[in-house]
Amino acid sequence: MKFILILLFPILMAETCSQNMEQNKDITFTYEMITRGTRAHYTLNKEEIKVVKNMGTEIKNSEKMTSKEWDLLMEKMKDIDVPNIHKLKPPSEKRIFDGAAHAILSIKTGDKIYKSNSFDHGNPPSALKPLVKAILRLGETVE
């Protein structure tokens, strides 16, 4: 019996690692920043980084995602309770009085989409801050 388990263990581990890699491939990050007359939309997945700016006269740019950049995003995401990002409270509310742009972070994993509540652009909930900073930094390299 032990012999069979020893033989099957590497196969099961390889399948689990393969599934984890497939799950990481199906992840998409979307960061939207909206204010009166201005809009920015960042979409990042394992293959590319896309940035769309402005309303009406859209400027679209994209760039390939490197494996190092993707690994950085995965590292930042691992500390986040993704299914519960909608429960995170924003630290400030300047967006309510037009003091800051509205921002929303969405994380799509497989066929599920998890969205944060609206927060001030540049001031996300503390749990999301490292991931949002990484997304914005990657988006700036495309612009």
Total structural domains in the chain? 1
CA dihedral 113, 42, 36, 121 (to 10 degrees): 80
Instruction: Examine residue 3 and state whether it is found in any structural domain, yes or no.
Output: no
- Whether 1 has a pLDDT exceeding 60, the answer reads no
Amino acid type, 131: L
CATH number of the domain residue 113 falls in: 3.30.1560
Task: Establish if 125 belongs to a structural domain.
Answer: yes
Let me know how many helices (H) and strands (E) the chain has, helices first.
3, 7
The arithmetic mean of pLDDT across residues 28-53, rounded, is: 93
Asked if residues 48 and 59 have their Cβ atoms less than 8 Å apart, the reply is: no
SS3 of 132, please?
helix
Domain contains 1: no
Q: Note the pLDDT of residue 98.
A: 83
User: What are the φ and ψ backbone dihedral angles of 17, each rounded to 5 degrees?
Assistant: -65, -40
21 within domain boundaries? no
| Domain of residue 130, residue span | 27-142
pTM, two decimals, is 0.80
Q: What integer pLDDT is reported at residue 25 of this predicted model? A: 61
How far CA 126 is from CA of 84, 89, 102, 141, in Å, comes to: 14, 9, 16, 24
